Structure 1
Amino acid sequence: MGNTTSTHVCPSVSAPVSLKHDSQHKVILRKRSMPLSVLTLGCVPAPSYYESYCPSSQETTVADRDEKLSFDPPPLYAYSTHDSDLNVDSASAAYKTFLKTYPEYHSTWILDSLRRSDFARLDRAGETYVDYMGGSLYPESLIRVHTEFLQQNILGNTHSVSNASSLSSACADEARQAVLQYFKAPAGYTVVFTANASAALKLIGEAFPFQEGSSYVLSADSHNSVHGIRKFASQRGAQVTYIESTPRGGLDLADAKHILADNKPKSRHAQPSLFALTGQSNVSNSKNPLSLIKYASALGYSTLLDAAALAPTSVFSLAEHSVDAMAISFYKMFGFPTGVGALVVKESFLEQLERPWFAGGTVDVVQAPGMLYTMVGEPHERFEDGTINYLNLPAVTEGLRFLSAYLPFLPLRLSTLTHHLVSSLSELRHDGTGTPVARVLSRVPSNRVKTVGGQSDCGSTVSLIFLSPSGEMLPLSFIEHAATSQNISLRTGCMCNPGGAAALLDVRDDMALLYPGVTMRDFEQQVGRELGVVRISLGLASNFQDVWRVIQFATDMGKEEVRAAMWNAWAEEKIGMAY
């Protein structure tokens, strides 16, 4: 498929999980010695299609490569049994044009192989999934490997010393090490397993020693789970200060530094203060400067990074950005398992936190009746309330190894697809009036990634609104209904990010007019229009065909006859629901 030759070689894989007994007869996992697991890269044999279009290195010339860039047909994944012949021809022509503009897309061919081997269900179902910011899709091989592991082993509650419990504990330890290695954590970090990133953020909020004179500084363009920490801060007398969002989301570096300096603690110990940084916005597509972590730390702040939206498609190193604590969700990174997140945190920072309660698994001795208790010795265990999700932790280990193999290719692929999507949407016009069909509100990448291993200055999320021929915003419920009818899975609303959405929709001033008990319906009546955006987010399994179908859907919105038919179908369903 690419414009250079490649040999289909099955990479070295790690040995399967096996057991051995130590001198005390405790069952432990044999450590995997290879960086890649049995599911990494799939080792899928190449179809005859590639034999036709990937000549040997001796036969390939510069002229051949140039010709291939212009005439390479769309790959097999670009076709669906649900497409008409006309659509297949349109997709083929669009793909050729796309490759002329973005020839670097060829370098990500390995993700096409992944699409066929692990996400073929998308094309079988004719589904276009563009909600990776809501949740990534699981690779089928990860499910197979994990299911086989569960079928062949016996796992028990980690709060015991039986063989089954020892195996679970060994799996948990291995998963912790896999997380630390994936994020290149230096010595002194540990991992607290939680239900999700929100639970990890709550752990910090409830246990951070806020007091009178403390500060909690955060960006307006943050997830509600980051905003929620302000409840703990204000209840203990701390000052909550916001860094305003820019009109396109994110924050201004100079403004952020100014606010951090103005609110810095007089003493790190006497006035413990916290700075929470959103690594990447889930609605505005902004990546905030990670240099703020070091800057805030130098001023005396403890630092917290919400990396839930950043980690799935970006390389992040704790050795380079030594944040005190970082929250992630694994289902957003590789789709499975849900219900497992992590707080990657410095052990020294954990020692500063003051838990408001204790639970099973977090204590060594509890006096009952009485008030005495002693927490367990391991720092991470003091924050893992009850029983951790031990059945799914082996999938975390395999999932991280899986993602590490493909992560270098993702920024390049997603950069080309995002640029193409944004430019195509911006050019669409209504057939009757010539007015724009859509308005992209989120931040657009300033530069294209052109090499494998490069990093984008933005994410791969496009937040927009669709417009009527007269320029009014089309209802979000209509867009979602129309997209669903065409098997497109997207997201509408404010994405649990009120500050970022308000910036994009230019209603930041209206935020100041809100009152206790106000509802979203009240807010919309105050503003005079519906609030929210349409979000298209790309990820691990995204390809050209997904973006092409979204563009075709948006093109239909500009065709009066087609849009009217979709509107009537939506209106009829609304009437039926009312009845």
Structure 2
Amino acid sequence: MTQPREENKPQEFSSYAPTQATVSDDAYGQFLKTFPEYRLTSTLDTLRQSDFTRLDTTGETYADYMGGAIYPESLVRIHTEFLNRNVFGNTHSVSNSSTLSLECANEARAAVLSFFRASPEEYTVVFTANASGALKIVGESYPFVDDSSYVLSADSHNSVNGIRKFATHGGARVSYIPPTATGGFETEIAENILRENRSPSAPCLFALTGQSNVTNTKNPLSIVEYAKSLGYHVLLDAAALAATSSISLSETPVDAMAVSFYKMFGFPTGVGALIAKKSFLKQLKRPWFAGGTVDVVQVFGTIVTLSEVLHEQFEDGTINYLSLPSITAGLRFLSGYMPFLPLRTFLRHESTGKPSLRILSATPSRRLKSVGEQSDTGSIISLLFLSPTGEILPNSFVEYAAAKNNISLRTGCMCNPGGAAAMRLNFQNEKCRLYEGATLKEYEATVGHQVGVVRISLGLASNFQDVWHVVRFAELIATRKSYAALWNQYVNDSSTD
């Protein structure tokens, strides 16, 4: 496998200044006086200028890292050069080209285990299309029976919610841990629900959301040990957590963990992983088999012999072998910069004056001061924009106005209806108005407004300039004249759709 170039490693950088005239030098100077520790992350400004040049040349302010990270240009260049120099074949063969593909796949598995500090004797890696695919493998294969329990947080992604279909089909009961007003859960309440729903005679599954993708809340990983002491298998949804936080499976030995690599370093899309204990995978029973998962299939007949290689039993068809070398390079790339991310993307809101927006998501309980510290929340702000008269603005208008100002953000429930409901308390009651088969438009017509929130999320290439542009955007909406102009454009363009 080719080695990343020197430009993938952190570089020394003595100073940084905003690169566009629209950013106030006075504002940046004042920011540094208030948060001098920001200077400790200057290596990421060097990275921004060398590996994310298109952000400044296009003028786009990207604030949707939770939706998908921006890929470093060197990673794509390295991967393209590697593909151009070699011949790769399907891993389900023994040719030279296939052997090279298999070697790269095995190298990627080893890199994933190393990155998450998981013992290769205890854990293995199943490559999937994304974190949702990884979660589905567990859901469809878990041996749910009568008296089993499936416990999860209400503040969970829909891919975690979806496992309840497999649970109820198997006869298990489903129990939700209620959210706090800012998402996540209270540890004592979660422990009570786990204790009340455990079964001494049937397998039980606890799905833990490491970090909410909408409320910004991190759940305490310490609850893993408690759940396991009650006999639960623990599945960790780390799709959001792994993007900006260090995870050690040697310290938090969950039975299985789901990740998506594009959320971590942007390239490639279409590759995720289930990192699972081998002992746990052996207890799963898949409801079907496919090419690549078996050694022998009797036709006509019913005999099926699964592959001797454990991870191959869960990888349907041909894995994405052309993309896997970039996983190895991407993890190596991210390893050099991960310690800087919590300090760089530390978000704490201080309210002053009449609000033009309402922040709903959780904020950190303490201020980070050094590189390598971990925050107790993520790098997300979920909020509602308010009109100059104080009314909640439609999310569709905010998204439209943001696009007009070259800002990429996201609106809606972010595939996490429980998290959105937790922050918008009236929305929790409105969910009772749902009926089977209701569409989103029908539901919004029933409750009388658009549902969800506006989400701003930061990542590896985010800098002061990006946040400044978002703040200036909020000021535009707070100003009657500019707000009226944007609103009129929005109404006119909507009427022509």
Shorter-chain-normalised TM-score: which range?
over 0.9
Q: By how many angstroms is 1:516 displaced?
A: 1.2
Selected match of 1:323 from 251, 254, 265: 254
Cα distance in 2 between the residues matched to 1:42 and 1:246 = 40
Q: Is 1:562 aligned to 2:448, yes or no?
A: no
Q: Is 1:281 aligned to 2:215, yes or no?
A: no
Contact 2:343 2:368 survives alignment (8 Å): yes
Deviations 1:18-65 (A, max 9, x none): xxxxxxxxxxxxxx7xxxx3255457797xxx5xx6xxxxxxxxxxxx
Q: By how many angstroms is 1:527 displaced?
A: 2.8
Q: By how many angstroms is 1:528 displaced?
A: 2.9
Cα distance in 2 between the residues matched to 1:93 and 1:488 = 23
Cα distance in 2 between the residues matched to 1:398 and 1:370 = 45
- Structure 1: which 4+ aligned runs deviate by more than 3 Å? 39-46
Q: Paired residue for 2:355? A: 436
Q: Is 1:190 aligned to 2:124, yes or no?
A: yes
Q: Paired residue for 1:101? A: 34
Q: By how many angstroms is 1:462 displaced?
A: 0.2
SS in 2 for 1:99: helix
Cα distance in 1 between the residues matched to 2:6 and 2:262 = 17
Deviations 1:535-566 (A, max 9, x none): 00000100000000000000111111011111
Selected match of 1:508 from 400, 425, 428: 428
Q: Paired residue for 1:79? A: 19
Mark the CA change 1:44 to 1:449 in structure 2 (over 3 Å): closer, same or farther: closer
Deviations 1:350-404 (A, max 9, x none): 0000000000000000101111010011110000000000000000000000000
The structure whose RCO (Cα within 8 Å, separation 6+) is larger is 2
Q: By how many angstroms is 1:571 displaced?
A: 1.1
Contact 1:467 1:474 survives alignment (8 Å): yes
Cα distance in 1 between the residues matched to 2:165 and 2:12 = 54
Cα distance in 2 between the residues matched to 1:240 and 1:527 = 27
Q: Paired residue for 2:188? A: 254
Deviations 1:145-165 (A, max 9, x none): 100100001110000000000
Deviations 1:486-532 (A, max 9, x none): 10000011100000001111122332342212222333233332211
Q: Paired residue for 1:474? A: 393
Cα distance in 2 between the residues matched to 1:388 and 1:468 = 49
Q: How does 1:367-382 map to 2 (within 5 A)?
A: 367-382=298-313
SS in 2 for 1:523: helix
Q: By how many angstroms is 1:282 displaced?
A: 0.3
Contact 1:362 1:376 survives alignment (8 Å): yes
Contact 2:356 2:388 survives alignment (8 Å): yes
Selected match of 2:443 from 513, 519, 523: 523
SS in 1 for 2:242: coil
Q: Paired residue for 2:294? A: 363
Q: Is 1:532 aligned to 2:452, yes or no?
A: yes
Cα distance in 2 between the residues matched to 1:468 and 1:442 = 20
Cα distance in 2 between the residues matched to 1:306 and 1:120 = 32
Aligned length: 495
Cα distance in 1 between the residues matched to 2:25 and 2:159 = 43
Q: How does 1:79-478 map to 2 (within 5 A)?
A: 79-80=19-20, 85=21, 87-88=22-23, 91-186=24-119, 187-267=121-201, 271-415=202-346, 418-419=347-348, 422-423=349-350, 426-427=351-352, 435-478=354-397
> Could you list the runs of 5+ residues in structure 2 that have no partner in the other structure?
none
Cα distance in 1 between the residues matched to 2:230 and 2:146 = 18
The letter for the 2-side match of 1:444 is: T
SS in 2 for 1:311: helix
Contact 2:8 2:74 survives alignment (8 Å): no
- Counting aligned pairs with the same residue, the percent is 59
Mark the CA change 1:527 to 1:200 in structure 2 (over 3 Å): closer, same or farther: same
SS in 2 for 1:193: strand
Q: By how many angstroms is 1:305 displaced?
A: 0.3
SS in 2 for 1:521: helix
Mark the CA change 1:575 to 1:305 in structure 2 (over 3 Å): closer, same or farther: same
Deviations 1:50-94 (A, max 9, x none): 5xx6xxxxxxxxxxxxxxxxxxxx52xx223xxxx5x34xx2111
SS in 1 for 2:243: coil
C-alpha RMSD over aligned residues: 1.4
The letter for the 2-side match of 1:520 is: L
Cα distance in 2 between the residues matched to 1:484 and 1:235 = 43
Q: Paired residue for 1:70? A: none
Cα distance in 1 between the residues matched to 2:251 and 2:9 = 31
Selected match of 1:573 from 485, 493, 497: 493
Cα distance in 1 between the residues matched to 2:314 and 2:327 = 19
Deviations 1:324-351 (A, max 9, x none): 0000000000000000000000000000
Report which of the two structures shows the higher radius of gyration computed on alpha carbons: 1
